[in-house]
Chains A and B, each alone.
Chain A
């Protein structure tokens, strides 16, 4: 057994003060195994030690919320006796080291979080961010990540229905892979990760334990250095087939009534699942590692406790009913072995070869992790307030360049690799403002959107985070759904740097304010810090996933349907000045710079726009609807032009690039055969609504006054991402 020296403590990424806290909790020096357990459970990834005091600022309760943060996933009521469990989680660090398996196991991990709660996953979305698009390394990571998601989700049989994919230099050494999953079950079938009933057996199910992924959680809590590539064995290997069997077996076993509590073995594997279940139930758990199914020989207690082998679950069954559980897992050909019991002493006691290797109070490991109020100054920001002098491009050239740019072009080559229709619930798949999956059981549908904007948040973390929430709610409203609850993934750099910590604090506060205002409480999520490579941090990138509810009906999609329809701009033209223009895609793609501030947001107006579009949909008035975001009005119009074009007639003295490409929020473009009725709804709610043109065959034309600024054939407007191959 290795002696515990200052060096060993440092290698476990524990500070001397944290080590002293361990000593005082235990009343003695920890064993090497115990040190390993504390190091993962108190890692940033598992303990949220830098963010927890700020996360408390987020709203977490509301009319629809059944279960807020603290469980494997949040749960909301979706009507008719059914609930939805959903959550987002990051797999940023593993995806950089080994893109395929990193992304694949990211999908696997979040799926387990959902079916652990008793819900069958029915939708996955991904928020992806990579480095500079035109770069070999980016291409390798992008292709690996997409293939990994495709491999895992398709085989498992869950549709990947949407997401986002953004390219920005700052993610080159630190890609972001955030995966969202949602599942559905009956309200009374929800399971919690809570151990109870002294004497009840603790049963291990699923894959055998190997040495893979040891210290994955602590890896995810450190900056990358040149040596990080050597951490490849820390990335786990996923088996979607096994996960599919595990889900079917778990859902079936839950129906027997013999299961008391269940939790997946994710980060920190056996350790976190046992001590968190014990802690939640206020009980102790004693396990014997000799009984754990192993696929390697000679593993130590340390290795087994910290292994992050995938596709494993821990459950507590009713004593005397073990056979019912074994029978179900046997049917699916899976290991199910009692490895311990629930005790009354509140301790996690681990035996191996007759020796007690660890004996730690569950509550102390799970809940008494250090919490830091890390110093925060003003947010790190290198962009100037004032933009460079630039010569505005010809609007048509600018439009085509933007439409072809990696962030804006169609991601079809990515999402065609995902099975997005399996389970026959996807009424609106990838490529729209929000994905929609119907719930066959209750006649309702669930709309989902994931949104982040690192550029906005870099310029102003607080305003950027608010704009994220606003856009996400706008996306849902644009397809006719009422946003009801959210999950967040906070991707930031090193919190030990006060100017980075400030980004985190301000973004959380902005998100809290917006989620409160839009009535979309946060029911869970994930914090990913230390997203830095060789000292280069990412843009502060909070990603929000919001879930909306609607009655099941044929979706209203973004493309114009018929010529001769009026095109209306709900929310009006908005206002973009030269300062705010610096955060736009135009500034990024055509000026090649970032400056100024994100667009100004009037949340009150934004909310009324959402209400207006939902009422317009309820009355069946819109034939198409598309929210304005990246690239502004001109890009949005162009995206609506698939088989039907448009004539847009403007009368404005604004600089043409601000008018066409400014990204002022709170706007939705729709086409209708009944403009009077739409205008009436808008007026009733005090929302601006401008007639901007009419749909027509074959061309997109934009005029300002008598001057033609854009005149294009429809085929010239379609661009697909070309990197995938």
Chain B
């Protein structure tokens, strides 16, 4: 299993995702530079956290125009699995691969803490190894994580079982406590919490492992 970790200028959780896949989870991750239009032999793609291109505009607003995102769109259109974490989620939303927007946290501050997530669906390649209702403790670290979409979109997300994770205690004002969602085809997921930071017992939680195990199990090798 080869995971491609996209590196934008300003990505800073790229190494964490790479390390988790290679060293904690026993699979193979490789970096893909933002100006590449070729995803190589990647079986799945991770868009990591960070501040792509500085994020001085809306988060992810510039990254969506980078050359590699064309390749990621094609990959997703062909059914390839794409996981966007934190800034990666913001980029997916800006790219139109996921609906809605991520706005500044309700308290207007960056927030770094562990939060409890409730697994809403196991009908996805990112959560199939979890149990419905299972609580995961994962770190968040973001200033713009308040999920927003219009009522119709929110209703659709719920009706189509596309909300994967909700916050048990909403840290950022996200509508309907949404922490992670799927696209219609269910092969693209964005989430604000960081599963890659919770794959090593030394980090205090290994609850992120289930997300990656689901991903690995979903890709035929």
Contact = CB atoms under 8 A, between A and B. Distances in A.
A419 B53 contact: no
Contacts of A244: 9-10, 12, 51
A416 B203 contact: no
Chain B interface size, as a band, is 20 to 34
B153 to A, nearest CB: 29
Nearest to A160: B112
B139 A724 contact: no
Interface in A233-247: 239-242, 244-245
Contact of A421 (B56, B109, B203): B203
Contacts of B125: none
Nearest to A248: B9
Most B-side CB within 10 Å, residue of A156, A157, A424, A725: A424
A155 interface: yes
Contact of B202 (A157, A423, A438): A438
Nearest to A436: B202
B91 interface: no
Contacts of A241: 9-10, 51, 53-56
Nearest to B196: A424
B196 A724 contact: no
A423 B16 contact: yes
A111 B67 CA distance: 30
A462 B148 CA distance: 57
A419 B54 CA distance: 16
Contacts of A156: 12
Given A244-B12, A333-B9, A155 B202 contact: no
Interface in A388-418: 415-418
Interface string A525-554: 000000000000000000000000000101
B99 interface: no
A420 B20 CA distance: 17
A350 to B, nearest CB: 32
Contacts of A415: 112
Interface in B142-176: 143
Nearest to A430: B112
Nearest to B33: A331
B128 interface: no
A421 B141 contact: yes
Interface residues of A, number: 32
A418 B111 CA distance: 7
Contacts of A694: none
Nearest to A334: B9
B78 interface: no
A419 B141 contact: yes
Contacts of B202: 427, 438, 552, 554
Interface string A711-725: 000000000000011
B40 interface: no
B145 to A, nearest CB: 12
B200 interface: yes
A33 interface: no
B19 A155 contact: no
A426 B19 CA distance: 14
Nearest to B199: A424
Given A155-B55, A157-B12, A554-B202, A424 B112 contact: no
Contacts of B49: 422
Contacts of B196: 424
B13 interface: yes
Contact of A245 (B9, B55, B113, B143): B9
A181 to B, nearest CB: 15
B9 A423 contact: no
B65 interface: no
A415 B15 CA distance: 23
A245 B10 contact: yes
Interface in B182-213: 194, 196-197, 200-204
Contacts of A419: 110, 112, 141
B107 A725 contact: yes
A239 B54 contact: yes
A239 B54 CA distance: 8
A440 interface: yes
A196 interface: no
A422 B55 contact: no
Nearest to B51: A155
B109 A417 contact: yes
B180 interface: no
A424 B112 CA distance: 13
B8 to A, nearest CB: 11
B34 to A, nearest CB: 10
A332 B10 CA distance: 10
A367 B143 CA distance: 45
B11 to A, nearest CB: 8
Contacts of A438: 202
A415 B109 CA distance: 11
A440 B54 contact: no
Contacts of B88: none
A154 B107 contact: no
B84 interface: no
19 contacts: A155-B12, A239-B54, A241-B9, A241-B10, A242-B54, A416-B111, A417-B110, A417-B112, A419-B112, A419-B141, A421-B197, A422-B13, A422-B16, A424-B16, A427-B203, A440-B23, A554-B202, A724-B109, A725-B107
Interface of B: 9-10, 12-13, 15-16, 19-20, 23, 49-51, 53-56, 107, 109-113, 139, 141, 143, 194, 196-197, 200-204
Give the 4 A-B CB pairs with smallest separation, nearest first: A157-B12, A241-B54, A419-B141, A155-B51
